[in-house]
Amino acid sequence: MEDNKQKDGEGSLETLEDQDTTVTEAPDASSGGDKDAKKEKKKRSAGSLLTKITNRVNVYLLAFILLIVVSLIIVFVVIQSSNKQAAQQENITSQELTQEAIDSLSSNEATVGDPKQLLNIESNAVFAGKVLIRDGLDVAGPIKVGGDLNLPGITVSGKSAFDEVQINSLSIAGDTSVQGVLTVQESLTVSGQASFGGPISAPSITLDALNLTGDIQFARHIDAGGGTPSVSGGGATGSGGTVTISGTDTAGTVTVNKGSGGGNGTLATITFANPFNGNPHVVITPITSNGSLASATYYLSSRTTSGFTISASGMSGTGSISFDYIVID
């Protein structure tokens, strides 16, 4: 009996323990289920958020943003590379000029450093003798020359300003503009055409030919230069008559001293010093105070490129008569 009771007690205890175990384990199972449910909800919410973002964001916009980022990276790399190259170029080996090197230079010819090095002179330098530079000369500041500057050739790419320049020979391939007054001490030779916008002032102008398209105005007299033509008397001058001439081919005076007899025919034949290109226009004007000579008739009997002839009719008596002439081609 007691054994059965003990067994029944043990059975009841085991049953209680099983119940306790079931009771204690039941909350654990429920809490685990809640956690799993929460995780699944989070996964679903995360998945739905990504889905929403993917649906709302355009794929082309993402590609454009990616392209901008890649471009910025490339620009950054290029800038860094160029900065490194510039730093390498600026890193030139320099060499200080010591007192020993200066003493060596003052006593004899010496070589300091090599072309790959840079010589820095902090103080001012005065060269008592000549300075020869076998390679190019780069000057960062202005150049001041106290004496004459002798250059076999000079090329200026930009603008230059000179107060006074003396040039033995100047050849200009392009156009030239002179803002001020141009003074030429010697002769000026122009092989092409010359155009002047204003008046030309010159004490003397020598021209082979002058072509005027407008009117010509002279403020003073016209003095025609050139050689003096020759003249010979005709039969109308009479016995002992003479003929003289003064002036040029363009204008002059023929003087006839009539002798006895004569009176009709050729008085004077004028031959030009320089023939005209064509038959010129000749105008004569008789001048005399002799009444008998003034009543006669005077005319041009001929005119050619080489000269003209003055003739008369009805001359009587003796005396002097002059003829002013103007010849225009």
Name, of 141-145, 207-211, 298-302, the range with top average pLDDT: 298-302
In sequence order, the β-bridge partners of residue 94 are 118
CA 273 – CA 303 distance, rounded (Å): 15
Mean per-residue pLDDT, 296-323: 94
Q: Retrieve residue 310's tokens.
A: 């003055």
Q: What is the DSSP code string of 190-229?
A: -SS----SS----S----S----SS----SS-----SPPP
Q: Write the CB contacts of 306 (distance below 8 Å, at least 6 apart in sequence).
A: 271, 272, 275
> What does the DSSP 8-state code read for residue 237?
G
Nearest to 231 by CA among 267, 268, 282, 283: 268
Q: What is the pLDDT of residues 155-198, one digit of tens each?
A: 777 777 777 777 777 778 878 888 888 888 877 788 888 888 88
State how far the alpha carbon of 1 is from the alpha carbons of 5, 6, 8, 15, in Å.
6, 8, 10, 20
Q: What are phi and psi of 18, to 5 degrees?
A: -65, -40
Average pLDDT, the chain: 79
Q: What is the 3-state secondary structure (H, E, C) of 243-281?
A: EEEEECCCEEEEEEEECECCCCEEEEEEECCCCCCCCCE
CATH of 230-328, one of 3.40.720, 2.40.30, 2.60.40, 2.40.128: 2.60.40
CA 329 – CA 325 distance, rounded (Å): 13
Q: pTM value? A: 0.44
CA 289 – CA 53 distance, rounded (Å): 131
CA 202 – CA 180 distance, rounded (Å): 18
Q: Residue 88 — pLDDT band, cuts 50, 70, 90?
A: low
Which position has the token pair 């006839």? 256
Say how far residue 259 (Cα) sits from the centre of its chain. Answer: 76
Q: What is the pLDDT of residues 89-132, one digit of tens each?
A: 666 556 666 777 777 666 666 566 666 667 777 778 888 778 88
Check: CB of residue 241 under 8 Å from CB of residue 256. Answer: yes
* Structure confidence at residue 146 (pLDDT): 78
**Three-state secondary-structure class, residue 234:** coil
CA 135 – CA 145 distance, rounded (Å): 20
Q: What is the pLDDT of residues 125-145, one digit of tens each?
A: 888 778 888 777 888 778 888
In the chain, domain spans: 2-86, 230-328
